[in-house]
């Protein structure tokens, strides 16, 4: 890896804006020239100004990352990395939207095997991007993570295994702006790391980060983007950053473009690890006020002087980490064996865990001190998972260390955010999905009542599998709630993202009556039968649980929800 840090990032403004500014200025310069070329009395003064004017336009092109301006970079190491990148950044690369990059225009490196003590063979496949790194710790599980790179660079402890760290010293690379900036660096954030300033929601960020630490400032106090919107991990996140993390827009999944949440923020950035601070840095050679905040996996910057779509950007954490970890250059030839490459089917789904303890409380924060989720008649959230139950982890987060050396919690639900402690669970390998008796063209959904599983196929190729709970059968027709079998299609006329469902009796006095609010990602496929999310049990893949619908986790129901209307649903 011979590319210099300076040549890679001269400006925090992304490629689309840089191209626009460059071409706009040059075209305007040519227009001015055409207007004055026949007026000798103004020509000298105008042409002198024109030289400066068009030089600025050319400088705008210099702010384009070298990875874009140069020839095509390395290929994606595997299809899962490419699919992960495509969701957020293919719409940018294809000019379907105007926003800053989440990963970068293309990979920075080839995929290669990096030492990791807890991976098979003590190595794992990784690939670096401008903004982060993709990694797969175990190809048989196919889960993609992007590492706590910012934490490592601040603390100076390179992670070489789940619990193995090597002290190599913190990074002296500047976190924002030009490579020539001397402050703030990752090493310089040591004093800000996990040091809350008790910023309340609604308060304005009024601190800058200096060599001496936090200092008061009165900049941009009327800017709503710098008011604290939420508290996470004991630290305040300003509205500009919080809106960016939860932003909806054009994404690319399942071979097409759609509108959805661009990226799950805990996956992409992790939790905040510093408060937000103001600083002043050079960006493209020009000093600018920049608000920054460090998160576990990324850094975010807010530059008020930037165009609206580019005021909030992710820092070049991937490039910074690559430079820090490989000062003599990263490998340029891939050494990833085929057996280490994850396959797209396994990577689409989220990991499942079996509860191994007798009872596992479901809490509202990753600590045993947090309250257990509230259970009401309209929101009957499962409060305790029993031994043998299955939970699907949206992500892993750091929390209370209940068992020595294990502070990992599993987040199993969002809005409200719900967690279980990982120490009382075991990772589950999903059973094989039964070979369908029939197949269909294109993408289609298969549901196995016998296996209590659901799968997505592309023709005869399995691309996705997970656990479900179908309708409860009964020999008494009045109590028979079995899910109908046959070939159906997803209804396109009514597909609510959230719905209240009721039934089970003719009136509220009936013993089986229910009314459940906020049932998410509902895809009707036959009469009033639907595939939808559920939050009141953890018996997926064990036994039927429903009044006829197909219960899935909210995440898995969301995968089906993104499929187009008319998609075949084959229940066997």
- Paired with 133 in beta bridges are 128
Task: Kindly indicate the confidence band of residue 514, based on its pLDDT and cuts at 50, 70 and 90.
Answer: confident
Most confident of the following: 32-41, 104-113, 558-567: 104-113
Name the nearest CA neighbour of 283 among 78, 449, 41, 63: 63
> What is the rounded average pLDDT for all residues in the chain?
85
- Paired with 2 in beta bridges are none
Asked if pLDDT for residue 505 goes beyond 90, the answer is no
Section 122-140 average pLDDT: 91
Asked if pLDDT for residue 15 goes beyond 60, the answer is no
Residue 259's CB: how many other CB atoms inside 10 A?
10
Asked if pLDDT for residue 46 goes beyond 70, the answer is no
For the sheet containing 395-403, what is the strand order?
395-403, 406-413, 418-421
Section 80-102 average pLDDT: 93
Taken in order 343, 346, 349, 353, is the CA torsion positive or negative? Answer: negative
Task: Kindly indicate the confidence band of residue 489, based on its pLDDT and cuts at 50, 70 and 90.
Answer: very high
Section 177-197 average pLDDT: 95
Asked if pLDDT for residue 60 goes beyond 50, the answer is no
Q: What's the pLDDT at 29?
A: 53
Asked if pLDDT for residue 49 goes beyond 90, the answer is no
Section 247-251 average pLDDT: 91
Task: Kindly indicate the confidence band of residue 136, based on its pLDDT and cuts at 50, 70 and 90.
Answer: confident
Q: What's the pLDDT at 342?
A: 63
443-571 domain in CATH 2.40.440.10?
yes
Q: What's the pLDDT at 168?
A: 96
449/572 Cα distance (integer angstroms): 6
Asked if pLDDT for residue 24 goes beyond 60, the answer is no
Q: How far is CA 257 from CA 466, 562, 564, in A?
A: 24, 10, 11
Q: What's the pLDDT at 80?
A: 84
Asked if pLDDT for residue 145 goes beyond 90, the answer is no
Section 540-548 average pLDDT: 94
Residue 272 and residue 150 in contact, taking contact as beta carbons nearer than 8 Å: no
Name the nearest CA neighbour of 290 among 12, 527, 537, 532: 12
- Paired with 390 in beta bridges are 354
- Paired with 128 in beta bridges are 133
Residue with tokens 């004017």: 53
Long-range contacts of 432-438 (CB under 8 A, 24+ apart): 433/462, 433/465, 434/572, 436/570, 436/572, 437/572, 438/570
389/384 Cα distance (integer angstroms): 10
Residue 260 and residue 299 in contact, taking contact as beta carbons nearer than 8 Å: no
Q: How far is CA 273 from CA 190, 192, 211, 222, 530, in A?
A: 10, 8, 18, 25, 41
| SS3 state at 521 | coil
Q: What's the pLDDT at 267?
A: 84
List pLDDT tens digits, range 427-468.
888 888 999 989 999 889 999 999 999 999 988 888 889 999
Name the nearest CA neighbour of 259 among 88, 384, 409: 88
Task: Kindly indicate the confidence band of residue 300, based on its pLDDT and cuts at 50, 70 and 90.
Answer: very high
In percent, the amount of the chain with pLDDT more than 70 equals: 83
Q: How far is CA 360 from CA 356, 402, 419, in A?
A: 9, 13, 10
Task: Kindly indicate the confidence band of residue 513, based on its pLDDT and cuts at 50, 70 and 90.
Answer: low
Q: What's the pLDDT at 253?
A: 76
Q: What is the DSSP letter of 548?
A: S
List pLDDT tens digits, range 396-408.
888 999 999 899 9
Q: What's the pLDDT at 510?
A: 44
Same fold, 348-428 and 443-571: no
Q: What's the pLDDT at 338?
A: 80
Section 84-111 average pLDDT: 95
List pLDDT tens digits, range 210-234.
999 999 999 899 999 999 999 999 9
Residue with tokens 């460090």: 294
Taken in order 109, 112, 118, 122, is the CA torsion positive or negative? Answer: negative
Identify the weakest region by mean pLDDT among 33-37, 230-234, 346-350.
33-37
346/327 Cα distance (integer angstroms): 34
Q: What's the pLDDT at 263?
A: 87
> Could you tell me which residues come within 8 angstroms of residue 431 by beta carbon, excluding any fewer than 6 positions away?
451, 453, 541
List pLDDT tens digits, range 106-118.
999 999 999 999 8
Domain boundaries, the chain: 5-64, 67-325, 348-428, 443-571
Q: What is the CA radius of gyration of the chain?
A: 26
Interior CA angle at 144 toward 142 and 147, to 5°?
Answer: 140
User: If you write DSSP's letter for every residue of 308-331 in order, what string do you get?
Assistant: GGGSEEE--HHHHHHHHH-TT---
Task: Kindly indicate the confidence band of residue 562, based on its pLDDT and cuts at 50, 70 and 90.
Answer: confident
Residue 18's CB: how many other CB atoms inside 10 A?
23
Spell out the CATH class of 348-428.
mainly beta
């Amino acid at each position: 890896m011979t590319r210099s840090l300076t040549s890679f990032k001269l400006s925090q403004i992304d490629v689309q804006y840089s191209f626009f500014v460059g071409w706009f200025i040059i075209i305007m310069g040519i227009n001015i020239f055409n207007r004055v070329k026949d007026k000798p009395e103004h020509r000298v003064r105008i042409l002198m100004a024109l030289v400066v004017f068009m030089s600025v336009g050319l400088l705008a092109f210099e702010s384009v990352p070298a990875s874009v301006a140069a020839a095509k970079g390395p290929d994606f190491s595997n299809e899962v990395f490419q699919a992960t990148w495509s969701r957020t950044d293919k719409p940018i690369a294809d000019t379907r939207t105007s926003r800053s990059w989440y990963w970068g225009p293309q990979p920075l490196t080839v995929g290669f095997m990096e030492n990791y003590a807890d991976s098979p063979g003590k190595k794992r496949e990784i690939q670096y991007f401008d903004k982060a790194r993709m990694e797969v710790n175990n190809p048989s599980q196919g889960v993609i993570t992007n590492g706590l790179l910012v934490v490592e660079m601040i603390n100076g402890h390179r992670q070489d295994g789940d619990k193995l760290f090597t002290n190599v010293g913190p990074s002296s690379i500047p976190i924002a702006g030009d490579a020539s900036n001397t402050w703030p660096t990752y090493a310089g954030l040591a004093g800000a790391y996990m040091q809350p300033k008790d910023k309340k929601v609604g308060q304005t960020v009024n601190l800058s980060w200096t060599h001496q630490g936090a200092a008061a400032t009165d900049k941009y106090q009327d800017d709503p983007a710098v008011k604290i919107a939420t508290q996470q991990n004991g630290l305040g996140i300003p509205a500009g950053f919080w809106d960016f993390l939860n932003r909806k827009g054009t994404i690319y999944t399942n071979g097409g473009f759609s509108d959805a949440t661009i990226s799950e923020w805990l996956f992409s950035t992790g939790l905040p690890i510093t408060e937000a601070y103001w600083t002043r840095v050079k960006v493209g050679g020009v000093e600018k006020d920049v608000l920054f905040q460090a998160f576990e996996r990324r850094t975010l910057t807010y530059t008020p002087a930037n165009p609206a779509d580019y005021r909030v950007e992710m820092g070049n954490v991937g490039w910074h980490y690559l430079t820090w970890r490989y000062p003599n250059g990263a490998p340029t030839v891939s050494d990833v064996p085929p057996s280490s490459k994850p396959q797209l089917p396994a990577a689409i789904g989220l990991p499942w865990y079996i509860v191994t303890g007798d009872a596992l409380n479901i809490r509202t924060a990753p600590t045993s001190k947090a309250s257990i989720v509230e259970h009401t008649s309209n929101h009957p959230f499962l409060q305790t998972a029993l031994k043998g139950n299955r939970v699907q982890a949206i992500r892993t987060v750091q929390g209370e260390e209940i068992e020595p050396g294990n502070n990992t919690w599993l987040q199993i639900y969002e809005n409200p955010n719900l967690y279980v402690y990982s120490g009382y669970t075991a990772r589950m390998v999903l059973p094989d999905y039964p070979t369908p008796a029939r197949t269909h063209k294109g993408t289609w959904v298969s549901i196995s009542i016998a296996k209590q599983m659901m799968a997505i196929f592309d023709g005869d190729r399995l691309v996705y599998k997970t656990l479900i709970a179908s309708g409860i059968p009964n020999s008494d027709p009045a109590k028979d709630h079995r899910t109908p079998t046959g070939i159906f299609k997803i209804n396109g006329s009514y597909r609510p993202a959230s719905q209240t469902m009721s039934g089970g009796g003719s009136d509220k006095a009936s013993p089986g009556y229910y009314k459940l609010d906020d049932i998410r990602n509902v895809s009707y496929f036959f009469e009033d039968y639907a595939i939808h999310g559920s939050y009141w049990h953890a018996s997926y893949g064990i036994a039927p649980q429903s009044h006829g619908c197909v219960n899935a986790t909210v995440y898995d129901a969301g995968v089906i929800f993104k499929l187009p209307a008319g998609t075949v649903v084959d229940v066997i």
